[in-house]
Amino acid sequence: MSGQSNIYFQIDTIRQKGWPAIHSFSYGALDGTVFLVGGRKDGIHEKKSGFSRKENNRFLYMWKPSSGTIDSLELSFIPDSLGDALSAAGTSFVQLDQYLIIVGGYGENAQSEFVTYPSLVVLDLSRAADSTAWLDILRPAARQLIHPRFAVAGGQLGILNGRFFLAGGNKFEGRYDDNSGLVKQEYTDKVSIFELNIGQDSVQFTLISEIKDEFNFHRRDFNMVPFVFEDGSTDLMLFSGVFLINENRPFFNIARLNESGYTDIPSFSHFLANYHCAKLGIFERGLNVMHQYFFGGMAEYAPDGSGSLIRDPLVPFVKTISSVVRKADGTYEERHQDIGMPGFLGTNSELILMPQVPVMEGDKAIIDLDKISSDSLVIGYIFGGIFNPTDEPNPWVKDRASATMANPYLLEVRMRKGPLSYQTNPTGNKTVFPKIMISEQPGGGRFNVRVETEDWKDLS
pLDDT tens for residues 183-198? 788 999 999 999 999 9
pTM above 0.85, yes or no: yes
* pLDDT the model gives residue 50: 66
Count H helices and E strands in the chain, helices first: 2, 38
Q: Which parts of the chain have pLDDT scores under 70? A: 1-5, 45-50, 131-140, 177-182, 362-363, 419-460
Backbone angles phi, psi at 80, to 5 degrees: -55, -40
CA atoms within 13 A on the CB side of 91: 31
Task: Output the pLDDT for position 51.
Answer: 72
Please give the pLDDT value at position 185: 85
pLDDT, residue 432, reads: 32
Helix ranges, 304-459 (H): none
SS3 content of the chain, % helix, strand, coil (to 5): 5, 45, 50
Residue 320 is predicted with a pLDDT of 96
Instruction: Give the per-residue pLDDT at 179.
Output: 62
pLDDT of residue 333: 96
Tell me what pLDDT residue 189 has: 96
Q: How far apart are CA 100 and CA 372, in angstroms?
A: 29
First vs last Cα of the chain: how many Å apart?
39
d(CA 356, CA 358) in angstroms, rounded, equals 6
Minimal CA–CA distance to 262: which of 325, 319, 213?
213
